[in-house]
Amino acid sequence: MHRLLAAAVSSLVLAAALPALPATPATPSGAAASAPPGVPRMTDDEGRVLTLRGWNIEDKTHRGEQALSAITERHLRDMRAQGFNVARLLVFWDDLEPVRGRYSQAYLRRIERILDWAEAQGIQVLIDAHQDVFGPAFGHRGIPEWATRTDGLPFTPHPDDWFAEYFEPAVQRAFTHLYEDPDLRWAQARMWRVLAGRFADHPAVLGYDLINEPMGEMAEGEDLPSAARRIEREQLTPMYNRLADAVRAADRDNWLFVEPTPIVGEGVPTGLGKIEDHRVVYAPHFYNAAMEAGRDYDPAAGWIEAYEAAVTAYPKAYRVPVVVGEWGPLNNALPNMGRFYREALASLARYSSGWAGYVWCYGGGYCAVGEDGRFRTNKEQTAAPYAPAVAGVVRDEEWDSLAGVYRLSYDARPGVTRLSLPPAGRGWRVEVSGGTRRGDRVYARPGARVRVLVDRG
């Protein structure tokens, strides 16, 4: 979800439908990052508590034989050098299956090459079935043209405000057919069986994001929040269960990531129901309409607090962890953006198992770094000390960005805790009590209370 949600929300009176939430004081930079009660954390096969920090990687410009060619080994190497451990890789159904029933082996090999680079760098990959405005039938990427059915309804492009195209009748009807037509349901499930069958055993694969930012068709007289909750309840929930079955036919172990509609970004709780699977992650995106329209962060508006309240309701109800699949403003150098990054990162740490920023590329706009490979203004705050894996029960964890101090406290269980420290001018000083540190690993006897203190040297 990017630029035009502000206008779309305004025209569809979303603001009037949102609950009145008072602006609460922002969490200080040193506040503890403990998950709210009832929000579980991701764990690995050893039972260690996981934290994912990373970025999206994409190639939206090339198709066919050139697909994914804009992603290079440098992307993974540079991300790892800054301490990141996850990449959300955008893949497109229209590249995988340009002709119905014919899957591109060249495209699968390119995905595999990126996974191999990631494995070499120690980065896990979330494979995201991406779509923007449905797909190439409307000038974008995602669902193939052969799977796009509009019933002859009109479509008017919006070159300057592409998110508005989601509200065009033809696009909305295409989503309805994708969700409801038996042959398209089958085709989408088969696409996922192909992907999971090819990559289930690749060491770099963390899991599968089943569809990016799904939308749908509004009924006459329906406001946007009501439409979003109905679409999530009646169409997305059964779709995710179908796709979960398809993936599990080939892959029993990797995580399944499910997204609500992008409207959650305005603090609207999702209408998603239960996904019947043993390894589900709730994966909302974290974008603000006003900021996507170019405005500065307004701390008094209470948006971060409203968003946090909305996105934690589902994982509390269904006992699933949260990983935010995309976030980060376009205009990151505005006066209040330094505060935004501090407060957003503190919020994400309170309830999520991690996040993937949008997007790791070399240039302007949403890019994390410039052409010289250095972080763009304020985005350097995303590279901070953290524990990718904790062998124990986390009691307290905090990163004080202003003081440059990271603290971790946990009750040890069998296994090894891992630390990640990004580059720092004078290095980092690390103190461990209750355990022993060897490089980036911390060892402790089960039952010990371990405390880790990291600060700038």
The pLDDT tens digits of the residues spanning 208-249 come to 999 999 999 999 999 999 999 999 999 999 999 999 999 999
User: How big is the CA angle at 216 (ends 285 and 127), to the nearest 5 degrees?
Assistant: 45
Alpha helices in 50-160 (DSSP H): 73-81, 93-96, 105-121
Helix 182-199 to helix 169-180 angle (10° resolution) is 70
| CB neighbour class for 242 (10 Å; exposed up to 12, middle 13-18, buried from 19) | middle
- On the question of pLDDT at 7 being above 60, the answer is no
Q: If you average pLDDT over residues 367-392, what whole number do you get? A: 98
Q: 5-383 domain in CATH 3.20.20.80?
A: yes
How far is residue 337's CA from residue 341's CA, in Å, rounded to a whole number? 6
Tell me the pLDDT tens digit for each residue of 118-170: 999 999 999 999 999 999 999 999 999 999 999 999 999 999 999 999 999 99
The band of 18, judged by pLDDT with boundaries at 50, 70 and 90, is very low
pLDDT for position 425: 86
What burial letters (b/e) apply to 367-388, b meaning 16+ CB within 10 Å?
bbbeeeeebbebbebbbbbbbb
How far is residue 259's CA from residue 202's CA, in Å, rounded to a whole number? 24
> N- to C-terminal Cα distance for the chain?
40
- On the question of pLDDT at 454 being above 80, the answer is yes
- Tell me the whole-structure pTM to 2 decimals: 0.94
Question: Residues 6 or more apart from 400 whose CB is under 8 A from it?
Answer: 29, 30, 406, 407
How far is residue 87's CA from residue 354's CA, in Å, rounded to a whole number? 11
The band of 38, judged by pLDDT with boundaries at 50, 70 and 90, is confident
pLDDT for position 35: 52
How far is residue 70's CA from residue 361's CA, in Å, rounded to a whole number? 9
Q: Which residue in the block uniquely carries the two structure tokens 């990983």?
A: 323
Question: Residues 6 or more apart from 35 whose CB is under 8 A from it?
Answer: 41, 350, 351
Structure tokens belonging to residue 151: 């019933």
Q: Are 178 and 154 in contact (CB under 8 A)?
A: no
Omega prior to 171 cis, within 30 of 0: no
The band of 337, judged by pLDDT with boundaries at 50, 70 and 90, is very high
pLDDT for position 26: 35
The band of 33, judged by pLDDT with boundaries at 50, 70 and 90, is very low
Q: Which residue in the block uniquely carries the two structure tokens 């603090």?
A: 267
Q: Which residues pair with 393 in a beta bridge?
A: 411
- On the question of pLDDT at 31 being above 80, the answer is no
Lowest mean pLDDT segment, chosen from 14-28, 320-334, 361-375, 438-452: 14-28
How far is residue 370's CA from residue 205's CA, in Å, rounded to a whole number? 28
In the chain, where are the structural domains located?
A: 5-383, 388-457
pLDDT for position 457: 76
Q: Are 381 and 401 in contact (CB under 8 A)?
A: yes
